[in-house]
Amino acid sequence: MDDITSQAPLLGRESNSDGGDRVRRDSYGSTSCSSKDDDVVVSIDPAVEEAGVAIQGGIQQADAINQVWSRAALILAYSFIFLISFANTLQYQIMSNLMPYVVSEFNSHSLIPTIGIVASIMSGILKLPIAKIIDSWGRPQGLACMIVLATTGLVLMAASRDVKTYAAAQVLYQVGISGFSYVLDIIVSDTSSLRDRVLAFAFNSSPTLITTFIGPPIATAFLNGSGWRWAFAFSAILFLVLSIPILSILAVNMRKAKAKGLLAKRPKSGPWTVSKLRQSLIDFDALGICLAAGGLTLILVPFSLLGSSVNNSVDNSVAITPIFGILLTIAFAIHERKAKRPFIRFELLCSRNVAGACLLSVTIFIAYFSWDGFYTSYLQVVHDLTLAQAGYVGHIYGIGSCIWTIVVGYLIRRTDRFKWLALAALPVHLLGGFLMIFFRRPDTNIAWVVMCQILITIGGSTLVMCDQMAVMSVANHAELASVMALLGLSYYVGSAIGNSLSGAIWNTTLPEVLAKQLPQFSPDELTLIAADLKKQLSYPVGSAVRTAIVTAYGEAQYRMCVTGVLVSLFEIVAVCIWKDVRVSQNKQVEGTVL
């Protein structure tokens, strides 16, 4: 896409993976060194594509749709993707700004990280079966299921009357919306060449440029008007309505593919037998998914309890569960090596790009959620920003990454490489985190806080995009959903650990500092202050109580930022182990694509 200033070049190209020569490789991700420039080229051995994974129904559907639709239909499909992405990002903006007030209404402001941890664990683990479902049944079917799940969660949140119901609904919603985002990313990947994929992702995230500005005022209007429950009801209706067009165009073109004979009608399944059930479990790699899910759950449970514990203690019987979790994770790796239909091939799982990308994902998101916990609350309490103003500052990463992703995509397309961009982004991201230690203080001008956010946005968004390219560049079409699910799982593992760290720091630091600053208050009063954002904001700026609260916030944020910076140092190792792959050499998709 030579011209990134208009929509037409982004959506106006046709690409066919049949063009160009394939280069055979002895092993997955092996290098081909030219005497001139030492280029690294990755290609997929045809024997791998014939191993059984590539013939799954969902992948056949995606290929068939690409073969039958026209360029106009492709443009229309991306227009509908824009609509549903708009609904998704708008509800995120509304909910993220209202969540502190919702849990404060239940006197549970400190539960924010706990809800995030549980949601992260469930969302990450369920990526694995979702990947198998959309590969077997189809992308539109999987997208529809995730839309129903997310909408149900929104409705239940709007109707909740206690924090337990709200938390359960929030987890249900997060599982649905993360699954929705994942399936939508796979649809974008199915319909774009690898070289232009980051630009396609940039278009998918472009509604953030609008919703970042209109989301906080809408949240404020609902908070001051009909209430947060109607905000969730509005989000549910909007999301459901705007999801219909993309589902419709995919269904129409799927029927067209069947009419042309590109998709055979599925035979009617007979009665279930033991052998049929056994074969289905093998095809879905049920054992592998259970081992991975069980292992990660046991590893993350102690972090969840630690993040929600006020006294920062965990029972010894729970503290040893990570040992069993690690054993199950090792068992998963061994199983994948020997399984007939593995979730992900062992060679791919252990490749430098996939292993390094997963490490980078975990590291980035531990750091991000370590220093991002209670951020919008911090902006309102310490810097006396309104809800809308805090929303704008808090979502600098969202809007900034949306713009910067276009630059990253253009540079990848021009240079045919991504590793050099990641290496350039590392010092920027680390510098932004390091400066936050000094500038996220009560006596700091808000402009310095914004500057740190901008640096983190440039460095972080570049690393995340290159992270995705690292795994996609060494996978074929049949393996695309699996490697993206594995990467998504790494995101959620990192966010769960990061949320737990921020929660543990918060629940330890805030009561400790408040008790020192306000000795005249009883423990119950201090607990009430720490748990209720509205009560914190009710004290005038400059008053003794508000000053004490600001001091407590400042100390907690300082400790969170130090933790995040120390963790982010592992990003250097993660990026350096990648192979420098030429993205144009991997021909993943066929037909009319971006």
Is the pLDDT assigned to residue 427 strictly greater than 90? yes
Structure confidence at residue 474 (pLDDT): 86
Calpha distance 510→504 (Å, rounded) = 10
Q: Name the average pLDDT for the chain.
A: 78
Q: 476 vs 45, 94, 235, 241, 556, CA distance in Å? A: 9, 38, 36, 34, 45
Q: Would the CA dihedral through 230, 233, 235, 241 be positive or negative? A: negative
Is the pLDDT assigned to residue 64 strictly greater than 80? yes
**pLDDT, tens digit, for every residue of 72-97?**
888 898 999 999 999 988 888 888 77
pTM (2 d.p.): 0.77
**pLDDT, tens digit, for every residue of 7-38?**
333 333 333 333 333 333 333 233 333 334 44
The vertex-202 CA angle with 175 and 465, nearest 5°, equals 75
Long-range contacts of 522-530 (CB under 8 A, 24+ apart): 528/107, 530/109, 530/110
- Structure tokens, 540: 């005038």
Structure confidence at residue 429 (pLDDT): 93
Is the pLDDT assigned to residue 466 strictly greater than 80? yes
**pLDDT, tens digit, for every residue of 548-582?**
888 888 888 888 889 989 999 999 999 999 988 88
